[in-house]
Structure 1
Amino acid sequence: MTTDTDVLPTMSFPAEPPPRRRTGLLRQLGVDTGYTLTGFPVAIAAFVVVVTGLAVGAGLLVVWVGVAVLAATLVAARGFAVVERAWLPSVLDRPVPQPAYRTPEGSATRKLLTPLRDPQTWLDALHAIVRFPVAIASFVVTVTFWSIALAGLTYAAWDWALPDASTDPDNMDLLELVGIESSAWTRIALYTAIGVVFAVLLPFAVRAVALLQAQLGRVMLTSRAAAQAEIGRLAQGRDAAVAAEAVALRRLERDIHDGPQQQLVRLNMDLARAQRTLERDPNAAREALGEAAGLARETLEDLRALSRGIAPPVLADRGLAAALAAVAARSPVAVDLAVDLPEERLAPVTENTAYFVVSEALANVAKHSDATACRVAVVRTGDRLHVVVEDDGVGGAVLAPGHGLAGLADRLQAVDGVLSVESPRGGPTKLVAELPCA
Structure 2
Amino acid sequence: MPSVHDMTTTYAEAAAPVRRSGFVRQLGIDTQFVLVGFPIGIISISVCMSLFWTGVGTAIIWIGLPILVAVMYVARGLAAVERARIGPVFGVRFRHPYYKQRPEAGPIGKMLTPLTDGQSWLDLLHGMFRFIPSTISFVFVVTWWSGALAGLTWGLWGWSLPNGPDDQDLPELLGFDSSYGTKVIFNLALGIFFAGTLYWVVRAAALLEAYFAKGLLSGVNDLRAQVASANAARQVAQEQKAAAVSAEATALRKLERDIHDGPQQRLVRLAMDLGRAEQQFATDPDAARATVAEALSQTRETLDELRALSRGIAPPILVDRGLQAALTALAGRCTVPVDLDAPYFERLDPAVESTAYFVVAESLTNVAKHSNASEVQVSVQRASSGLLVEVADDGVGGASLAKGHGLAGLDDRVRAAGGVLAVDSPVGGGTRLTAALPL
Greater CA drift, 207-216 or 110-119: 110-119
Q: CA–CA distance in 2 between the matches of 1:250 and 1:119?
A: 43
Deviation at 1:153, TM superposition (A): 1.8
What is the 5 A alignment of 1:10-409?
14-16=11-13, 19-106=17-104, 107-165=106-164, 169-248=165-244, 251-252=247-248, 260-261=256-257, 264-265=260-261, 304=310, 307=313, 328-329=319-320, 333-334=324-325, 354-364=349-359
Q: CA–CA distance in 1 between the matches of 2:84 and 2:125?
A: 18
CA contact (8 A) 1:331 1:363 kept: no
CA contact (8 A) 1:145 1:202 kept: yes
Q: CA–CA distance in 2 between the matches of 1:289 and 1:48?
A: 100
Q: CA–CA distance in 2 between the matches of 1:141 and 1:160?
A: 27
The residue type equivalent to 1:15 in the other structure is A
Give 2:340's aligned residue: none
Task: Give deviations 1:281-319, integer Å, cap 9, x for gaps.
Answer: 98899899879867865775566555559xxxxxxxxxx
Give 1:346's aligned residue: none
Give the structure, 1 or 2, with the largest relative contact order (CA under 8 Å, sep 6 or more). Answer: 1
Q: Which runs of 5+ in 2 are unaligned?
A: 281-286, 327-343, 365-375, 393-399, 402-406, 421-435
Greater CA drift, 170-179 or 104-113: 170-179
**Secondary structure of 1:154's match?**
helix
CA contact (8 A) 2:17 2:91 kept: no
The residue type equivalent to 1:40 in the other structure is F
Q: CA–CA distance in 1 between the matches of 2:109 and 2:294?
A: 78
Task: Give deviations 1:145-170, integer Å, cap 9, x for gaps.
Answer: 111221222212222321113xxx23
* TM-score normalised to structure 1 length: 0.66
Structure 2 CA distance for partners of 1:389 and 1:154, relative to 1, 3 Å: same
The residue type equivalent to 1:127 in the other structure is H
Deviation at 1:413, TM superposition (A): 5.8
Structure 2 CA distance for partners of 1:303 and 1:57, relative to 1, 3 Å: farther
Q: CA–CA distance in 2 between the matches of 1:65 and 1:115?
A: 16
Deviation at 1:205, TM superposition (A): 0.9
Greater CA drift, 240-249 or 30-39: 240-249
The residue type equivalent to 1:358 in the other structure is E
The residue type equivalent to 1:57 in the other structure is G
Q: CA–CA distance in 1 between the matches of 2:246 and 2:301?
A: 25
CA contact (8 A) 1:53 1:69 kept: yes
Q: CA–CA distance in 2 between the matches of 1:406 and 1:195?
A: 70
Structure 2 CA distance for partners of 1:387 and 1:102, relative to 1, 3 Å: closer
What is the CA RMSD across the aligned residues, in angstroms?
Answer: 4.8
Give 2:372's aligned residue: none
* TM-score normalised to structure 2 length: 0.66
Task: Give deviations 1:147-196, integer Å, cap 9, x for gaps.
Answer: 1221222212222321113xxx2332223334544122222222222122
Task: Give deviations 1:373-429, integer Å, cap 9, x for gaps.
Answer: x999xxxxxxxxx99879xx9999xxxxx9999988865669xxx9xxxxxxxxxxx
Structure 2 CA distance for partners of 1:295 and 1:50, relative to 1, 3 Å: farther
Q: Which runs of 5+ in 1 are unaligned?
A: 1-6, 310-324, 340-352, 377-385, 397-401, 419-430
> Computing the radius of gyration over CA atoms, which structure comes out larger, 1 or 2?
2
Q: CA–CA distance in 1 between the matches of 2:310 and 2:112?
A: 63
CA contact (8 A) 1:331 1:362 kept: no
CA contact (8 A) 1:123 1:221 kept: yes
Q: Percent identity?
A: 30
Q: How many residues align?
A: 364
Structure 2 CA distance for partners of 1:8 and 1:159, relative to 1, 3 Å: closer
